[in-house]
Structure 1
Amino acid sequence: MHLLCMTVLIGFLAGLVARWITPGRGFSGFLLTMMVGIAGALTASFFGQLLRWYEPGQSAGFVGSVIGAILLLAGHHLVVRGR
């Protein structure tokens, strides 16, 4: 339960920082911000393990989570802008 609470907290904070850094309108609300932050952490962990920056089973830290969330938000803005 402790790991879940920490994941949600770090995901929300990473989502907030990513929304603050990434320009444009997009996701809003507590739940969507948290989901973008958690998805960013998972994305950063996946690519970090793929590039051998992290060991298998090791997750990305806060900075990696923010970078992953920024990449997801930037991709979202590019897709939405193209419509």
Structure 2
Amino acid sequence: MGTIIGWLVLGLVAGFIARAVVPGKDDIGILRTIVLGIVGSIVGGLLVSIFTGFNSFQPASWIGSIIGAIIVLVIYNKVTGRKQVGR
């Protein structure tokens, strides 16, 4: 149960930081923010394993989670057409 709560907290914090860093307003809500952070953590973990050669699939550290969440948020915005600059 502690692991699930840990993932939720990590997802919430990483998602909120990613939303703060990426310019513009996000209307995605708290649940999508948590999912964004969790998916970002997985993406960050994969990137760390690719660049370091570490073959174990582990969630990334806080920094990797935030970077992954930023990447996922930018991709999400491009796919959904949100946050168009100049609109």
TM-score range relative to shorter protein: 0.7 to 0.9
Alignment of 1:1-83 (within 5 A): 1-52=1-52, 54-79=54-79, 80=81, 81=84
- List gaps (5 residues or longer) in structure 1: none
* Structure 1: 4+ residue segments shifted above 6 A: none
Counterparts of 1:34 and 1:22 in 2: how far apart (Å)? Answer: 16
Q: Using the alignment, how far apart are the partners of 1:40 and 1:67 within structure 2? A: 7
CA contact (8 A) 1:45 1:54 kept: no
- Kindly indicate whether the alpha-carbon contact (under 8 Å) linking 1:22 and 1:74 is maintained by their aligned counterparts in 2: yes
Which of 66-75 and 51-60 deviates more? 51-60
Aligned length in residues: 81
Is the 1:54–1:60 contact (alpha carbons within 8 Å) kept by the matching residues of 2?
no
With normalisation by structure 1, the TM-score equals 0.83
**What is the TM-score when the length of structure 2 is the normalising length?**
0.80
Percent of aligned pairs sharing the same letter: 30
Unaligned runs of 5+ in 2: none
Structure 1 residues 31 and 19: alpha-carbon distance in aligned structure 2, compared to 1, 3 A threshold: same
AA at the equivalent of 2:4: L
